[in-house]
């Protein structure tokens, strides 16, 4: 079969998996009075359609911010307004002010699911296709296999089409930015990333690698040899795109301040729910929220995040290669997830996206990481009634990644890019078998995730420990993710300096 036909088949399989998951339950289904993220997205359509822009982010008699107040940047609000106009034409009751709260019906569910699918088809899926065809490594068949693995990544499908969100928009825009930078279109890449950041503020997880990569390229070129002009073009693009996105709010400083307060609600505390990061895991032993003031918690999380951001970011600034850029995206987003303030379990998708881009280069470790990220959201998925889609999509991804990309067979020191490290370790442990160690670790990891998944779904926790299984899932996931942070940092920091030919090609 021709590569074009295979690519079309991959897209068809990806769309089929998405729509199959969309037939399942969603966040807060039938659980008033607040319901869940599904109602939050519907309510934002109600607010943006019925109220003037100046009231979108303010608490008023018509906009109770305690009931799913808008807390994403302006592009999310504009997207909600667009969806609201379509919804109003189909059924005005779906976006009627006040009376539409908690609306649930089969037709409305189909409409909401369709809005995610359209966004996916327009933004995310084309970016995946073009990235795999033009920037992923290997033969045509390997590119198609990579495409299928990315399109069938369970985490994004389960959250967008099960739980209900529009991560495909922000991640898709970020992927367009990565694609543009990989092709040397720095201004286009800067514009795409600014749009991603103005859709979801969590894209800050990726901001430092974009900054360091672009600045590093300008410095490498020389500020007197065209580098300054390139930097100026990027700066104008960033300022101009932000100005356009925030234009309705720029006339009143209070509007800007209020939007920023909604985007960064520091009063919510260090963490919520059971998330697989450092602070939630550490709180099992030490109640950080009780011991430290909110201000100290904020400073501590900022310092820890910055500490783990710097090594990969500095390496990228000094050696701005495209492969290093992808590794820095992984390292920085993981550092944010593991150490930053007010992290949600769904934020792991921000680390999963750049790992998807490495799956053809590091198939074994990337496939393993992506399985862990999906598992880390298990308590949320069970709460939403998505256990069956979780099991099916996870097994399907495991089968595809291990068969098409031969992930378990790619465990040599060269394959995992740690040959220099193992050369040093072997001085102390001469008989160390890196490949066997990786395979055993992967097998035990899969077994532990399977056992915990079964326990979470089939067993009742002790009455004294009602959160036992979610805590075990988050703690197990945290240990995995911390190990992956160390691994991806090691790969990036040990990456050799690019040869003059490859550096010339990158520039």
Residue pLDDT, tens place only, 61-79: 999 999 999 999 999 999 9
Distance CA 251, CA 449 (A): 52
Q: 78-98 burial, b if ≥16 CB within 10 A, otherwise e?
A: bbbbebbeebbeeeeebbeee
Distance CA 327, CA 99 (A): 48
Distance CA 348, CA 481 (A): 10
Peptide bond before 33: cis, by omega within 30 degrees of 0?
A: yes
Q: Using the 8-state DSSP alphabet, how is residue 271 labeled?
A: B
Q: Which residues lie across from 343 on neighbouring strands?
A: 271
Range scoring the smallest mean pLDDT among 15-29, 317-331, 385-399, 491-505 = 491-505
Residue pLDDT, tens place only, 103-141: 999 999 999 999 999 999 999 999 999 999 999 988 888
* Closest-CA residue to 374 (of 443, 446, 438): 446
Distance CA 410, CA 266 (A): 43
Confidence category of residue 507, pLDDT binned at 50, 70, 90: very low
CB 352 within 8 A of CB 168: no
Cα dihedral 473, 476, 478, 483 sign: negative
Distance CA 23, CA 315 (A): 45
Quick check: pTM over 0.85? yes
pLDDT at 460 over 50: yes
Confidence category of residue 421, pLDDT binned at 50, 70, 90: confident
Confidence category of residue 262, pLDDT binned at 50, 70, 90: very high
Cα dihedral 162, 339, 276, 316 sign: positive
Q: Which residues lie across from 271 on neighbouring strands?
A: 343
Q: Which of the two residues, 32 and 392, has the higher pLDDT score? A: 392
- What's the pLDDT at 404? 87
* Closest-CA residue to 397 (of 32, 17, 5): 17
Q: Using the 8-state DSSP alphabet, how is residue 461 labeled?
A: P
- Give me 445's structure tokens: 């990891």
Residue pLDDT, tens place only, 263-273: 998 777 787 77
- What's the pLDDT at 500? 60
Q: How far apart are the first and last CA of the chain?
A: 36
CB 36 within 8 A of CB 29: yes
Question: How is the chain split into domains, by residue range?
Answer: 3-29+104-506
Residue pLDDT, tens place only, 279-315: 999 988 888 888 888 889 999 999 999 999 999 999 9
CB 405 within 8 A of CB 363: yes
- What's the pLDDT at 1? 61
Distance CA 137, CA 361 (A): 7
User: H helices then E strands: how many in the chain?
Assistant: 24, 0
């Amino acid at each position: 079969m021709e590569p074009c036909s295979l690519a079309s088949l991959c897209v068809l399989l990806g769309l089929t998996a998405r729509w199959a998951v969309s037939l399942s339950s969603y966040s807060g289904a039938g659980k008033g009075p607040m319901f869940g993220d599904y109602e939050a997205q519907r309510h934002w359509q109600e607010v943006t359609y019925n109220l003037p822009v100046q009231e979108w982010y303010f608490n008023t008699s018509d906009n109770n911010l305690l009931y799913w107040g808008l807390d994403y940047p302006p592009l999310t609000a504009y997207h909600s307004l667009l969806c609201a106009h379509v919804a109003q034409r189909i059924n005005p009751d779906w976006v009627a002010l006040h009376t539409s709260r908690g609306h649930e019906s089969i037709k409305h569910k189909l409409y909401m699911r369709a809005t995610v699918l359209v966004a996916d088809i327009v933004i995310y899926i084309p970016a995946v296709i073009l990235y795999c065809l033009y920037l992923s490594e290997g033969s045509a068949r390997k590119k198609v296999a990579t495409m299928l693995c990315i399109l069938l990544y369970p985490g994004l499908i389960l959250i967008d089409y099960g739980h209900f969100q529009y991560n495909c928009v922000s991640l898709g825009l970020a992927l367009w930015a990565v694609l543009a930078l990989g092709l040397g279109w720095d201004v286009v890449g800067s514009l795409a990333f600014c749009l991603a950041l103005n859709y979801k503020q969590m894209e800050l997880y990726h901001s430092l690698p974009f900054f360091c990569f672009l600045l590093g390229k300008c410095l490498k070129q020389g500020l007197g040899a065209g580098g300054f002009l390139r930097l100026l073009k990027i700066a104008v693009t960033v300022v101009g795109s932000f100005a356009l996105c925030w234009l309705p709010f720029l006339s009143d400083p209070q509007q800007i301040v209020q939007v920023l307060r909604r985007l960064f609600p520091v009063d919510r505390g260090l963490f919520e729910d059971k998330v697989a990061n450092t602070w939630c895991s550490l709180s099992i032993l030490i109640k950080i929220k009780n011991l430290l003031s909110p201000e100290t918690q904020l400073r501590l999380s900022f310092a820890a995040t910055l500490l783990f951001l710097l090594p990969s970011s500095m390496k990228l600034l000094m050696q701005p290669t495209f492969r290093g850029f992808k590794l820095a995206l992984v390292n920085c987003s993981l550092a944010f997830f593991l150490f930053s303030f007010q992290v949600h379990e769904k934020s792991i998708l921000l680390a999963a996206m750049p790992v998807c881009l490495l799956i053809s280069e590091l198939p074994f470790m990337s496939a393993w990481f992506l399985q862990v990220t999906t598992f880390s959201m298990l308590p949320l998925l069970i709460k939403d009634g998505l256990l069956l889609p979780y099991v099916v999509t996870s097994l399907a991804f495991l089968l595809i990644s291990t068969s098409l990309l031969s992930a378990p067979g790619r465990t040599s020191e060269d394959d995992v890019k740690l040959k220099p490290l193992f050369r040093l370790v072997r001085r102390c442990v001469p008989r160390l078998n890196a490949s066997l160690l990786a395979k055993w670790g992967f097998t035990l990891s899969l077994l532990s995730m399977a056992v915990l998944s079964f326990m979470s779904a089939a067993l009742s926790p002790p009455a004294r420990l009602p959160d036992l299984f979610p805590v075990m899932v988050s703690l197990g996931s945290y240990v995995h993710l911390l190990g992956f942070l160390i691994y991806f940092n090691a790969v990036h920091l040990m990456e050799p300096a690019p040869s003059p030919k490859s550096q010339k090609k990158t520039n």
